[in-house]
Structure 1
Amino acid sequence: MTSTDLQGFSLTRHWRDAPTGTEIEYWLATEAGPRKVVLTSRRSVAFVAARHRAAVEAHLAAMPGVQLRELELRNFQQEVVLGVYATHFRQIGRLARALQAQGIPLLEADVRPHDRYLMERFITAGVRVEGGRAEGATLVDCKLSPAPEFRPVLKVVSLDIETSQHEGLYSIALDGTSERVVFMLGEPPPEPDEPMDFSLVYCPSRKAMIEQLNDWFERNDPDVLIGWNVVQFDLRVLQKTANDCGVPLLLGRERRPIEWRTHPGKQGYLFAPTPGRIVLDGIEALRAAVWSFPSFSLENVSQTLLGEGKAIGDEYDKMAEIERRYQHDKPALALYNIRDCELVLRIFEKAKLLQFMMERAQVTGLQADHFGGSIAAFSHHYLPRMHRLGYVAPNVGEIESKAYPGGYVMDSKPGFYDSVVVLDYKSLYPSIIRTFLVDPVGLVEGSNAGDPTGLIHGPQETVFSRDRHCLPQIVTTLWHARDEAKRAKNEPLSQALKLLMNSFAGVLGASECRFFNPKLVSAVTLRGHEMMKLTREFVEERGYEAIYGDTDSIFIWLRRTHTNEEAHAVAARLAADINDWWARTLREEQGLQSFLEIEVDTHYKKFFMPTIRGSEVGSKKRYAGLSVDAAGKEEMVYRGLEMARSDWTPLARQFQEGLLSRIFQGEPYKAFVTDYARATLAGAKDDLLIYRKRLRHRLDDYLVNVPPQVRAARIADEHNARVGRTQQYQKGGWIQYVMTRNGPEPLETRHSRIDYEHYLTRQLQPIADAILQPMGESFAALTTSQRELFEPGSP
């Protein structure tokens, strides 16, 4: 039996050294169900400069199965390299360490076999399987090739657990398949439970719960496991419970265990590779898709996206209520447990997270549950193309890490403006790479060219080849794919392509990347500086004024009030003229085709650029405006101001929004300021006084500088310890507190009177003065009488 013309989508990948060579294992989702593909007796490869042949051969006597081969490849120093071929991948690692002790680099020794096999065949996630033989349900020694259009329907399960406050397992809920179930610790009640739309299975022990869970996964066989903090909490607790009970946790396909790994640079952070199944955490998936929330708690995200949530109460009420339900009303606990599973499923559906993660896998070449990974994605695309140009990649650290220029940020001109338009360069850094042919191999070729004629000269004396490069073609392919995705209204694919393209310049500037080179990334960023300065000159030659610019956007004051139609027409003309100028200039002066494209972003009917607090210098990355689109729809926009920042109180954010919107709309604002101050002092806005801040370190790490949130957290946990509750903040987290006359106090145990003067002087006054001073007003002048007349309210 053969597997001719079977298409699959890569779920997981793995390698292991077997007696006959390295074996590579891929689990695929196909239209016919899951399939395991095993490639046997694979040889691993790395590269070394030919001048080190003798030193390498001295180690080979102790490494049977390792051979050297002459190749037509060079390193970035233009030296000929030899291929080091090994029966086992671990031999490559041992040789690399031995040579490193002699100061000899073994190149590409860290590229894992399952990744190299895919990248050298230009396979990302979609796979065509041909030939080979079938051994049961396993396909052995097939030929794999790209199938970029294939997308299967994946079988998804949402998992959630409930525990005691000390992580004692109470229940496990599973939703998303036809067998919706909650496994509950305890004996069944004498009277049958009320009918529910899921099964409630009582288990006499936690060992039995784990065994039931193992059987459920084998029976239902999902492709994807999702949850909320599912790796760091749910799966971790399940694994600990299984270990304590002396029973294996077998959630992988073929009843295999999770292959736990720890993060090398993030203490306590776990990875949970699970054979044959993708594990997606909702929080990580949202962040990967560039969703932003003040809090990524399931309650907050579900309320924001779905308009509903868990609504059990705060963290203490929740634990108490879980305990009460477990002791007295297990069906109610089961309902709460599976409700969390349902919310996660609906969030994934609403935000199209599974589609995004699948498209991201197809675009990047990374496993779908590999979050982050911009460097790995770059390498997946770059290495095979570089090899075909005759080069092997350098190792990480070959070039010393040092600073390089970032994006261009123009000095701002603070104040209030009418009719400001914003033009934005579309995918600025990718377009620079395409236009000016910025590329690691191109830089090597240009730097070593005997004849400089025809080379492209860039910033910091960089020179690039016009015809030997890889990255511009990669960007071009992704660019066209994104345009097609946008035409097809495939937003998850469009977003994945955009994020990958925009990551490339950052990858070149990351010291952890094997292609890191400050000159290389500067050839992108400094070209961006030059472009923004020339764009500013172009705009001002037309009689307009550039009042601010940031990386790829320029803010242009039209110098007089324009109607919305007039402003959009001016902006469109400017964009067209700038694009024509780039195309003509680059063609005539350098013989380059321009892929630089500036477009109309926004028209601000009213615009405000503040000063840096306490000075007359214009701020950067902070502004507000009343935008109007081409159809006339208005929207208040805040960037970097207190209104857009979660570390300011709701009192400050609502005040700033109210004041600016009144000024932008030409409405009276003085009474608003005085009334807001009066209401604050009277205690009418006490529900808006809450600070919510993150504790980024353990509490005991704060020794010298102890900020208010840490003081509040220590008070809260001292109180928790006194009343026998779990301490919430010892390892960090988020704390909510208010400022009282006795300093910061957490919401859990506030007893002092509110310090209203703090909120007036530290929250409202800085915001008000930044807005009012350009108009000759001040917060103190408007509110002094309020403080004299009003005695601060009671707690």
Structure 2
Amino acid sequence: MYLTDGFIVSSHAYDTASGICYEAWFCSDKGPIKTTSVNENALFFIKSKDAEIAHEILAAESLIFNIKSLELKNFQQEDMSACYFNSLKHFYSAAKALKQRGVVLSEEDIRPIERYLMERFIKGGAWITGNVFYQNGYTLVTEAKLKANDEYSPALNKLSLDIECNESGVLFSVGLVGCNLDCVLMIGEPDRETENLEFDIIWCVDEAELLRGVEHFIKLSDPDVIIGWNIIEFDFSVIHERAEALGIKLLLGRGDQPLYVRKGHFTRVSIPGRCVVDGIDTLKNATYSFESFSLANVSNQVLGESKLIDTANSLQEIIRQFNEDKLSLAKYNRQDCILVNKIFDKLKLLDFSIIRTKLTGLELEKKGGSVAAFINMYLPMLHRSGYVAPNMGDHGLTFESPGGYVMESIPGLYKNVIVLDFKSLYPSIMQTFYIDPLGLIEGLKNPNQSVQGFNEALFSRDKHHLPLLIKSLASQRQLAKDNQDQMLSQAIKIIMNSLYGVLGSKGCRFYDPRLSSSITLRGHEIMLQTKKWIEELGYSVIYGDTDSTFIKLDDDLTHDECNEIGVFLAKKITTDWVNEIKQTHNLTSHLEIEFESLYSPFFLPTIRGKLVGSKKRYVGKLIKPNESKLVFKGLETVRSDWTKLAQQFQFELFTSLFDGNLSINDLVKDYITKLYQGDFDHLLVFKKRLGQNLIDYKKNIPPHVQAVKKHQKKNSEFTVNRGEFVTFVYTIAGVELYQDLHSYDYAIYVEKQIVPLLDMVEPIINQNVNDLKKNQFLLF
């Protein structure tokens, strides 16, 4: 028998004469490995009381099946049976037939191959045993047995792929960079100017030869991972469509297996033996935030590098280059591949994907996936506790759970403000109070052995899974921090923080408002009690938000004295919660509050046009050892729907206010003067997303839509789709799309971008903004 370890890069199931075959491809230190396990079953669950009618329905459909009662119940405490199938075709046909006849199924939406791996707790890494056959380029293991191996981490080799085509998807070129490749396949005649390039151009007669070339070079380079930018929804979708149109079956997988693309709510690309990882999806999975996830913007922000074509209408330029300047198009195509490789390397995106798979079992290329990750981790444990997963809405409850606690702020300018943050508040609440789907069901069964939640929820003190899972994740994260493994620490943080979000999402089968409200309302209780304790100690709480408490300290304190108070309060409040939870609930507290920040000074604004304090909006100078910096929350400086003029002005306004180095009069006069001189013309562009289709805007048409419709009158072919950004400016001719050169209406920018920021700080500048407006430098 063969024994080695490997890491899954692809898996799928298919029917054979001897039953379902589960096939998985692994990368390993010994090269690619393909495993097969035949004569397997697929299953879903039904209520045991429905077994007889289910048998009649399936028999009438001439399906082969086996129904077996199990020691499992649903959350309504009804006995459950499993329906087994040795054919995927029969599995899916049976599910359809039963649902049409009103039989309630459970877990029928779990893909059989995912269940196969999930129930073995395989999260990427596995031990592999079976019968070994050495093939051309890989090892085949038949009758494979897989066992979880959490320790194994792969060394994946990656290839960056990018295509260029016209608006109809007709291919011009394909760039391939990585795995010892640096080339562009281009349709056209050989050009002598390309002979001394630092990369290869492979000239192709037509699309068919181009696609065969892609197939050849992918086989030659044999990557584990193919990466790109929107590569699943665009590049591989186009490649697949063109291959189908030309009658070509692209064998891009290992073992000469074909590329497969399935479209539905999302596009799924399957290349056996390889995985396809999209840069945009991976950035979002890792919680990176960009104003735009376009390759042009991300490469500029991350690398300080630009695409070789960076115009408003890049498609038109791509078509021109293909017809007139193929060398430039090849360089552009290759540069996109290089940029993607550099972004992946600099941000360690593949490392993050591997870690996420090892923690959750999600496929490397999985888009989003918080709900899927939760199910991967939780479902096998639930089965071993005697339950099948609920269907969405089984709880039958209609009330909504509240969001996080947010206190109305006390507006004003403060000299010293410290912030105390609860460390992972919601996961800590779940761990402390045993908040868990299984715990809720078992708690309701045995009230005497439970912890009281909210909205009549009860949670078992001894039957639960999430508290232990959170404990394990927290200890792993602390170890990662101790080892300065920022990537692992961040990945675990994302997963821990997603646990509440999943339980609070109606798109998750485990959603129950008793679960989510027992978390958020406990958070409200904790924040209010923390505020009370702090105020009993003689301090003023001026704001609170979800897990953060903002405390005003005396103006005459030094920074060191403020820090000492912060450390003292954090230690005391943590201890108080240990005692309170022990006395009130006889539970061990996992709540920990930390002294997070010192701001000096700190400003909380009012709601615009009102006297009451606003929420989630503040600015302060963060004081750290050997450095200080301005931090803006929710203000114009960090909002993309304000111009860069407003953002820059607000930053300098607060720098001036906090440092006192420049009078407000002088600052405003300088900005207005430069504005009218045209010095700020590059900062005057607004950017706003189209919230609906253009034809749906009929009343109260906003400025960015006005700009589009005005442009369309002279350019009828121009359009913008829902969800896309519109860049526009105010000119003396009204609102217009931004097109580099304009005669700006500077007075509107003063009115809309400068005066509102002055209004916000009027209470703290000891000067009436109306007086500023009357000054001559505002009357250009």
Task: Report how far residue 368 of structure 1 moved.
Answer: 0.8
Inter-partner Cα distance in structure 1 for 2:50 and 2:386: 19
Question: TM-score under structure 2 normalisation?
Answer: 0.95
Q: Alignment partner for residue 727 of structure 2, among 725, 728, 736?
A: 736
- Which residue number in structure 1 is paired with residue 80 of structure 2? 81
Inter-partner Cα distance in structure 2 for 1:534 and 1:778: 40
Residues 42-441 of structure 1 correspond to what in structure 2 (within 5 A)? 42-62=40-60, 63-134=62-133, 136=135, 137-164=139-166, 167-189=169-191, 191=192, 193-264=194-265, 269-316=266-313, 318-319=314-315, 321-400=317-396, 402-441=399-438
Task: Report how far residue 361 of structure 1 moved.
Answer: 1.2
Question: Measured at CA, do residues 161 and 780 of structure 1 come closer, stay the same or move farther in structure 2, by a change above 3 Å?
Answer: farther
Q: Alignment partner for residue 512 of structure 2, among 514, 517, 524?
A: 517
| More moved, 462-471 vs 225-234 | 225-234
AA aligned to 1:602 is: S
Task: Report how far residue 414 of structure 1 moved.
Answer: 0.9
Deviations 1:138-159 (A, max 9, x none): 2222111111121111110111
Residues 605-620 of structure 1 correspond to what in structure 2 (within 5 A)? 605-620=600-615
Deviations 1:732-788 (A, max 9, x none): 52221101233320123866x422222111221111111123444343321323367
Residues 288-687 of structure 1 correspond to what in structure 2 (within 5 A)? 288-316=285-313, 318-319=314-315, 321-400=317-396, 402-449=399-446, 452-629=447-624, 631-667=625-661, 668-687=663-682
- Which residue number in structure 2 is paired with residue 21 of structure 1? 19
| More moved, 769-778 vs 25-34 | 769-778
CA contact (8 A) 2:237 2:261 kept: no
- Which residue number in structure 2 is paired with residue 793 of structure 1? none
- Which residue number in structure 1 is paired with residue 774 of structure 2? 784
Deviations 1:405-447 (A, max 9, x none): 1111111111111111111111111111111111111111111
Deviations 1:76-101 (A, max 9, x none): 11122222222224434443444434
Question: Measured at CA, do residues 394 and 677 of structure 1 come closer, stay the same or move farther in structure 2, by a change above 3 Å?
Answer: same
Question: Measured at CA, do residues 223 and 438 of structure 1 come closer, stay the same or move farther in structure 2, by a change above 3 Å?
Answer: same
| More moved, 779-788 vs 431-440 | 779-788
- Which residue number in structure 2 is paired with residue 30 of structure 1? 28
AA aligned to 1:525 is: T
AA aligned to 1:211 is: R
Deviations 1:457-509 (A, max 9, x none): 11222111111111111111111111122222222222111111111111112
Task: Report how far residue 132 of structure 1 moved.
Answer: 4.0
SS of 1:315's partner is coil
Inter-partner Cα distance in structure 1 for 2:592 and 2:512: 26
CA contact (8 A) 1:768 1:778 kept: no
Deviations 1:646-688 (A, max 9, x none): 1100011111111011111123223102321232234332211
CA contact (8 A) 1:93 1:110 kept: no
CA contact (8 A) 1:60 1:67 kept: no
| More moved, 553-562 vs 249-258 | 249-258
Deviations 1:183-210 (A, max 9, x none): 1110112x36342222111111111111
Inter-partner Cα distance in structure 2 for 1:170 and 1:430: 51
Deviations 1:556-579 (A, max 9, x none): 111334222111111111111111
Task: Report how far residue 636 of structure 1 moved.
Answer: 0.7
AA aligned to 1:48 is: I
Inter-partner Cα distance in structure 2 for 1:25 and 1:303: 41
SS of 1:459's partner is coil
Question: Measured at CA, do residues 284 and 33 of structure 1 come closer, stay the same or move farther in structure 2, by a change above 3 Å?
Answer: same
Deviations 1:297-328 (A, max 9, x none): 22222122112222544233x44554454344
| More moved, 364-373 vs 235-244 | 235-244
AA aligned to 2:728 is: Y
Q: Percent identity?
A: 40
CA contact (8 A) 1:765 1:780 kept: no
| More moved, 276-285 vs 17-26 | 17-26
Inter-partner Cα distance in structure 2 for 1:470 and 1:650: 49
Inter-partner Cα distance in structure 1 for 2:270 and 2:552: 53
CA contact (8 A) 1:105 1:395 kept: no
Inter-partner Cα distance in structure 1 for 2:321 and 2:747: 44
CA contact (8 A) 2:481 2:489 kept: yes
Task: Report how far residue 582 of structure 1 moved.
Answer: 1.2
Task: Report how far residue 64 of structure 1 moved.
Answer: 4.3
| More moved, 146-155 vs 159-168 | 159-168
CA contact (8 A) 2:44 2:107 kept: yes
Task: Report how far residue 706 of structure 1 moved.
Answer: 2.7
Inter-partner Cα distance in structure 2 for 1:255 and 1:766: 64
CA contact (8 A) 1:677 1:783 kept: no
CA contact (8 A) 2:179 2:222 kept: no
| More moved, 165-174 vs 386-395 | 165-174
Which residues of structure 2 form unaligned runs of 5+? none
AA aligned to 1:593 is: T
The alignment status of 1:771 with 2:750, answered yes or no, reads no
Question: Measured at CA, do residues 239 and 51 of structure 1 come closer, stay the same or move farther in structure 2, by a change above 3 Å?
Answer: closer
Inter-partner Cα distance in structure 1 for 2:617 and 2:383: 45
CA contact (8 A) 1:674 1:783 kept: no
CA contact (8 A) 1:160 1:340 kept: yes
Inter-partner Cα distance in structure 1 for 2:632 and 2:685: 21
Question: Measured at CA, do residues 673 and 582 of structure 1 come closer, stay the same or move farther in structure 2, by a change above 3 Å?
Answer: same
AA aligned to 2:103 is: I
CA contact (8 A) 1:545 1:559 kept: no
Question: Measured at CA, do residues 139 and 788 of structure 1 come closer, stay the same or move farther in structure 2, by a change above 3 Å?
Answer: closer
Task: Report how far residue 240 of structure 1 moved.
Answer: 3.1
SS of 2:350's partner is helix
- Which residue number in structure 2 is paired with residue 7 of structure 1? 5
AA aligned to 2:245 is: D
AA aligned to 1:224 is: V
CA contact (8 A) 1:769 1:777 kept: no
AA aligned to 1:339 is: Q
Inter-partner Cα distance in structure 1 for 2:405 and 2:193: 69
SS of 2:106's partner is coil
The alignment status of 1:757 with 2:747, answered yes or no, reads yes
Task: Report how far residue 711 of structure 1 moved.
Answer: 2.3
AA aligned to 1:188 is: P
AA aligned to 1:643 is: T
Inter-partner Cα distance in structure 1 for 2:259 and 2:708: 35
CA contact (8 A) 1:438 1:472 kept: yes
Question: Measured at CA, do residues 639 and 311 of structure 1 come closer, stay the same or move farther in structure 2, by a change above 3 Å?
Answer: farther
Deviations 1:356-412 (A, max 9, x none): 011111111110100111111111111111111111111123234542111111111
